[in-house]
Amino acid sequence: MSILFRVILFVAILVFDQNASASTVKTPEGRSVSDLHDFGEASSSQITTMNTYTDNWIRDHELNAVRIAPSSATYNCHYYAWVKSEQGGSDWMDWPELYEFIDDEEYSNDDLPSYIDATELTASHSHYTTKDHSVRKIQNSYPTASIGGRDYVAKWGNWGLVQHQKNHDPYHDKDNLGHDFRKLKTTHSGTLSSYDKTWIGNGGITHNITSDVTVASGKNITIQGDVTLTRSSTSVDLKFSPGSGSIIVEDESTFSVTGSAGNLFKMISSDATPARDDWSGIVVEAGGNLGLNYCEISDAEIGVEAEGADEVIITNSEIHHNEEHGISMQLYSGDVVDITGNKIHDNVWMGILSISSLGSVNIAYNQIYDNTIGGVYVQNIYTTILNNTITGNGYGIGGNCLDTGDYYFKVINNIVCDNNLGSLNNWGIRQYSGSRNFSISYNNVYDHDGLEYYGCSAGTGDIALNPDFQSAGTNDYRLDYDSPCIDEGDPDSQYDDPDDSNSDMGALYYYVLPPGTPTYIWGRNNPILSWSASPSSDIDEYEVWKKKNLGSWSLYATTSLLTYTDLNEFRWFSPNSKDKAYYKILAVDLGGRKSDYSGERVITVNGSVSKPIAPNNEIVVEEYYLRNNYPNPFNPSTSLSFGLPEMSRVNLQVYNVRGELVHDLTDAGMSSGTHTIVFNGADYAGGIYFYKIMCTSLETGSTFSEVKRMLLVK
């Protein structure tokens, strides 16, 4: 320890040794314990100083420790050693016993010694040592009264009470400990006790919740260090009792949470009928960091609030039904915020709010809708608002750039339409006075009761047309085939859609899904191809592409049907033919846009006429196929059947309408024949889903893939 640190500790101990009137000694939770001693009070300024020194010492020395109670004049280290802790006793160590090993029956409530070198099983009684100044176990109904015990607690004088991990006692030089302390708790489940919690992560620690965790009313979870939160299954959530506090991410700390597509990691109210302010949300303090991916935050006062956070990255998440804003931030110089691919909706005030900020804000590919006051408002120096769909809010986009020079405020490729919720504002895009370097280009700004542009004007490439969503009434903001927003975004290649076409406007780019891989049967002498329809709507026709043997692919035929007979190929009676015909299909929508190709089908022409017979006299599967699910529509389960002509590796997956993987049904080797797998949609929202099969023969290496559509009704 530093000399200054030791001097302050010594002063603290002297303060507590001064005589004063008797008072009630309490545990940090406020429970009274028989007071057999008198001690003096420390001043409020001394207590504040001690709190600061304790916290700084822990942080500067990267200790896995957390101050669980502040510096206090109601108890000190001597009185806090509760030697019969496990029995709930009230005997407290006096000064002469502070540096003694407790090894007799008087202080050992199970007749076992508690030597410093004992095992954790036998070293379970409260005592100080000359080496670590730690209490082995304190009984204070933590985490619950029935379990009892707070493991490895350290205190010195009236300094803050600290819980710590192996070799991390802040009141002793950590390099000279050598004692086997237990780790702090990193696995959580059930309803947490009625105390504020601190999850530590110095050096990077994973905390895991094994069942739904519920935070008690009025209590916070504080993130200290680098904490990654995981869950043991996709059905596990982090819940907050009505009246709960926040998840607080401290300075120089990072909180990282990742769910999965179709199974968002939820941080929500525990109430069956939640209110919008049942808890306070995630608060990122100055210098803190937050990373959310595939998460859901709802029922809070503010979903995510960050002031001076070093970095906030929120992707593929849903933030909704909060009392004020979905996301609120105030950035300092150098701070970075990236909000990409989210749904932010039904918040009472703003979807996204950033005021008086001096950082970098990127808001891209989000669906921001039905927020009462407005969609996006940003005051900042570096701002990009790119490819968002902003609709149904009180207003669309507002803000300004706070300085000149290389600073900027860019609004590009957005759909901003029908922001007429309530009777205030109702504008599309507003540039506030005093703004600098404010640029608008390639947006669709349409149908506002107020002004389309307020304090600014339409930019290069801007249009004002109905975006033609597939179903705005059900919040399906995918574009229809004839939307004027398709390919009308900024032509700069850096903004191109994932299919390498020119950028569409809005959050969800338009593309035509491919049809299924063709199968075939023999007619009298010719192969009859068939395939499943493209899951996309408004398909005009299908192109049949063909090549023969080692030749080149070429467009062979077009049809509006899901079948085609090739009259130029024949099944002859010679079994020795080696001719091969290859086929693949693509879909063309009513606007002339084409899908990717389906999987390929190869047919041996002029081949054998006979069909192999299985031992049970049933005709074996000759070709890969994927049948339509049954029933369809369904709730909650449906059967997916497919056939394998050979032993194959089978991967069967379910996707949502955004092309995100929802569930892996199987990825395993299977024998030839017919197979059926049941998909249970009980945990998923109603709507359209796609199921895709990918097969690889374990005998010949041939492949097969196909996609079909199904409807879950709830």
3-class DSSP string for 247-263: EEECCCCEEEEECECCE
| Confidence class for position 152, pLDDT limits 50, 70, 90 | low
For residue 30, count other CB atoms closer than 10 A to its CB: 8
Q: What is the pLDDT of residue 239?
A: 95
User: What tens digit of pLDDT does each residue of 171-201 get?
Assistant: 654 333 333 333 346 778 888 767 677 777 7
For the cut 80, the answer to whether the pLDDT of residue 295 exceeds it is: yes
Distance CA(714)–CA(703), nearest Å, equals 35
One-letter amino acid at 298 equals S
pLDDT greater than 80 at residue 123: no
Burial of 303 (0-12, 13-18, 19+ CB in 10 A): buried
| Predicted local confidence at residue 403, as pLDDT | 65
Determine the Cα–Cα distance for residues 73 and 68; give it in Å rounded to an integer. 15
Distance CA 68, CA 61 (A): 18
Which of the pair, 30 or 538, is modelled with greater confidence?
538
Q: Cα(294)–Cα(660) distance, rounded to whole angstroms?
A: 11
DSSP string, 475-536: TEEEEPTT-TTTT-S--SGGG--TTSSPPPSSSS---PPP-PPPEEEE-SSSEEEE-PPPSS
Average pLDDT over residues 149-154: 54
Q: What is the mean pLDDT of residues 513-534?
A: 88
- Whether the pLDDT of residue 428 is over 70: the answer is yes
Structure token digits, residue 21 = 């009137």
Per-residue pLDDT at 269 exceeds 90: yes
CA–CA dist 656, 663 (Å, integer): 9
Which one has a higher pLDDT value, 526 or 530? 530
Q: How far apart are CA 253 and CA 66, in angstroms?
A: 13
pLDDT band, very low/low/confident/very high, at 72 (cuts 50, 70, 90): low
C-alpha separations of 48 from 72, 248, 616, 648, 684 in Å = 10, 21, 85, 69, 51
> Scanning the structure block, which residue is given the tokens 């130029």?
568
pLDDT band at 158 (very low <50, low <70, confident <90, very high): low
Tell me the pLDDT band of 577, cut-offs 50, 70 and 90. low
- What is the four-CA torsion angle of 592, 593, 596, 602, rounded to 10 degrees? 0
What is residue 653's predicted lDDT score, i.e. its pLDDT? 95
476-487 tens-digit pLDDT: 999 999 999 999
- Residue 51 pLDDT level (bands cut at 50, 70, 90): confident
* 226-256 burial: b if 16+ Cβ within 10 Å, else e: bbbbebeeeebbbbbbeebbbbbbbbbbbbb
CB 248 within 8 A of CB 283: yes
pLDDT of 394 over the 50 cut: yes
Mean pLDDT is lowest, of 11-20, 77-86, 252-261, 386-395, for 11-20
pLDDT number for residue 207: 87
Between these two residues, 6 and 350, which has the higher pLDDT value? Answer: 350
The closest of 269, 258, 268 to 316, measured between CA atoms, is 258
Which residues, 6 or more positions from 6, have their beta carbon under 8 angstroms from its beta carbon?
A: none
Q: Is 56 helix (H, G, I), strand (E, B) or coil?
A: helix
pLDDT band at 86 (very low <50, low <70, confident <90, very high): very low
Query: Residue 243: left if φ>0, alpha if ψ -120 to 50, beta else—which one?
Result: left
Please count the other Cβ atoms lying within 10 Å of the Cβ belonging to residue 480.
18
Question: pLDDT at residue 236 above 60?
Answer: yes
The pLDDT value recorded for residue 103 is 30
- Closest by CA to 414, choosing from 476, 364, 472, 482, is 364
Q: If you average pLDDT over residues 332-348, what whole number do you get? A: 94
Q: Exposed, middle or buried by CB within 10 Å (0-12, 13-18, 19+), for 710?
A: buried
The CA distance from 512 to 289, in Å, is: 39
The two tokens of residue 362 are 């990127």
Q: What percent of the chain has pLDDT over 90?
A: 49
Give the CA count within 13 Å in the CB-facing half-sphere of 454.
Answer: 18
- Pick 135 or 589 by higher pLDDT: 589
Mean pLDDT of 126-149: 37
Above 60 in pLDDT, residue 100? no
Bigger pLDDT: 14 vs 42: 42
Q: Which residues contact 19 (CB under 8 A, 6 or more apart)?
A: 38, 40
- Rounded Cα–Cα distance for residues 633 and 33 (Å): 65
Residue 52 has what pLDDT? 85
End-to-end CA, the chain: 64
Does the pLDDT value for residue 91 go beyond 60?
Answer: no
State residue 370's pLDDT score.
97
Identify which has the larger pLDDT, 20 or 177.
Answer: 177
**Residue whose C-alpha is closest to residue 708's, from 627, 600, 588:** 627
Which residue pairs from 128-133 have beta carbons closer than 8 angstroms and sit at least 24 positions apart in sequence? 128/77, 128/81, 128/93, 128/98, 128/99, 129/99, 129/101, 129/179, 130/99, 131/172, 131/176, 131/177, 131/178, 131/179, 132/169, 132/172, 132/177, 132/179, 132/181, 133/77, 133/169, 133/171, 133/172
Domains of the chain (ranges; CATH) run 3-176 (no CATH), 324-495 (no CATH), 519-604 (2.60.40.10), 625-712 (2.60.40.2550)
Report CA torsion sign: 58, 63, 66, 71.
negative
Cα 655 from chain centroid?
18
DSSP 96-162: GGTTS---SGGG-TTS----TTS-TTT--S----TTT-EEEEE-SS-S-TTT--EEEEE--TTSPEE
Predicted confidence at residue 165, as pLDDT, reads 66
pLDDT value of position 185: 61
Q: Residue 279: CB partners within 8 Å, gap ≥ 6?
A: 215, 240, 241, 242, 243, 244, 245, 246, 269, 299, 300, 301
Q: Span 528-539, mean pLDDT?
A: 90
pLDDT digits (tens, 9 = 90+) for 592-640: 999 999 999 998 886 443 333 333 334 457 789 999 999 999 999 999 9
Which pLDDT score is estimated for 405?
65
27-38 mean pLDDT: 37
Q: Going edge to edge, which strands form the sheet with 150-154?
A: 65-69, 161-164, 150-154, 134-138
Question: DSSP character for 537?
Answer: S
264: β partners:
none
d(CA 138, CA 83): 8
When the pLDDT of each residue in the chain is averaged and rounded to a whole number, the result is 78
pLDDT confidence of residue 167: 58
Measure the CA–CA gap between 83 and 89, rounded to whole angstroms.
7
Helix/strand/coil for 45 = helix
Q: Quick check: 573 pLDDT over 60?
A: no
Question: What pLDDT, on the 0 to 100 scale, is given for residue 519?
Answer: 92
The model carries a pTM of 0.62
Q: CA-CA distance, 16 to 159, in Å (whole number)?
A: 11
Q: In which band, very low, low, confident or very high, does the pLDDT at 697 lie, cut at 50, 70 and 90?
A: confident
Lowest mean pLDDT among 170-179, 333-342, 439-448, 526-535: 170-179
> Residue 524: what pLDDT?
67
Q: pLDDT higher for 622 or 77?
A: 622
Residue 171 phi, psi dihedral angles, 5° rounding: -95, 15
In the prediction, which pLDDT does 119 show? 35
Which pLDDT value is given to residue 151? 52
